[in-house]
Amino acid sequence: MNDESAPDSHCLGPMSDVQHPHGHGGSAWAGLWSQIKHALTPHSHDSNELVDSTLRASRAGMRALWISFAVLMATALAQLVLVSFTDSVALLGDTLHNFADALTAVPLAIAFVLGRRAASRRFTYGLGRGEDLAGLVILLVMSASAVLAAWTAIDRLLHPQDISHVGWVAAAGLVGFAGNEVVARYRTTVGRRIGSAALVADGLHARTDGFTSLGVLLAAGGAWLGWWWVDPLAGILITAAILSVLVGAAKEVFARMLDAVDPCLVEQAETALRVTPGVLRVDSLRMRWVGHDLQAETDLVVDSALSVIEAHSIAADAEHHLLHVLPRLGRATVHIDPAVTSGEDPHAQLSHHR
């Protein structure tokens, strides 16, 4: 979390309905209006609306998985037909790679299905973290792809081989690149929209497969010119490309597993809490991702003279403001602390609080 008290302007989102001043003491009219608004605004402490949001995100993720799975399978099958009469080892490797990449939809689909399950006495936060495990599986597949590409390149250096039907091999490379690029754009777009790091990582994986297919095109060009060494050189370049994207995907997946969030989201949440009427200070704010939903916990300081009902109303308003500025927020836990009064020792109060 940023230690500066004022959030950066570039982090602030639309907050038109929460940009109003509040005094440290709070007026009677403001307190009355807050209680009326709390009574009239529908808000439930159960998770029905949150489950609906999670289900919508899960359905969008599943739709992205199956559509991209169909595109990759069609791409791999088209390449398989061309492999049957071109005898291209590079094309065969790319085809098998595309088949394997299509199957990465399976762990993600399992994770999305598990994420729909309601929380239980054993898994009190639900099974949304299954997406993190799916992200690890995808990283392993990407690592295996890099190893396979490197091994193929070394083997081709040691055992040169001519490629027949160069034009069809080049066409297969273009088909592989187009199919993987479509899948990459679709998965990363949906993954970022629903907050799924695993789906984004799988989209980046598909992009590396597009690079692999371009390597096949480069190898076909080298064969047409009679340069046998272009094929293994393309394999080495493919390995480097896969490793580069693997590093970026690993950073995103491991950051999510370590509860990392975008600092701008923290700034937006702090601002929304500070401008809530009745909030004197934001003592702490913690946020993390569970599946593709954000969860937040915050400690707010309010006037110690407020009643329990008034303090609860302020907590509900703070939660509503958080839901407004954080569309992917699934749950917020708001804890209220009384402020230090003039007759108390502030140092004793602070040490008692934490």
Task: Show the domains of the chain with their CATH numbers.
Answer: 9-42+261-353 (3.30.70.1350), 48-257 (1.20.1510.10)
- Give the pTM: 0.67
- pLDDT higher than 60, residue 126: yes
- Check residue 92 and give its pLDDT: 75
Alpha-carbon span 55 to 113, nearest angstrom? 10
The better pLDDT of the pair 146, 177 is held by 177
Average pLDDT over residues 147-157: 80
300-319 pLDDT, tens digit per residue, is 999 999 999 999 999 999 99
* The pair of three-digit structure tokens given for residue 87, joined into one six-digit string: 């005898």
- Check residue 39 and give its pLDDT: 35
Which residue type, as a one-letter code, is found at position 141?
Answer: V
Which has the closest alpha carbon to 291: 323, 257, 250, 324?
Answer: 257
Q: How many helices (H) and strands (E) does the chain have?
A: 11, 3
Average pLDDT over residues 133-155: 83
Alpha-carbon span 136 to 149, nearest angstrom? 20
Which residue type, as a one-letter code, is found at position 155?
Answer: D
pLDDT band at 29 (very low <50, low <70, confident <90, very high): very low
- Check residue 334 and give its pLDDT: 93
- pLDDT higher than 70, residue 282: yes
Residues of 13-32 as b/e, b for ≥16 C-beta within 10 angstroms?
A: eeeeebeeeeeeebeeebbe
DSSP letter for each residue of 124-181:
TT-STTHHHHHHHHHHHHHHHHHHHHHHHHHHHHHS----SSHHHHHHHHHHHHHHHH
Alpha-carbon span 104 to 72, nearest angstrom? 11
- pLDDT higher than 90, residue 335: yes
- Check residue 214 and give its pLDDT: 78
The listed range with the strongest mean pLDDT (31-40, 87-96, 250-259) is 250-259
Task: Flag the least confident range among 3-17, 84-98, 100-114.
Answer: 3-17
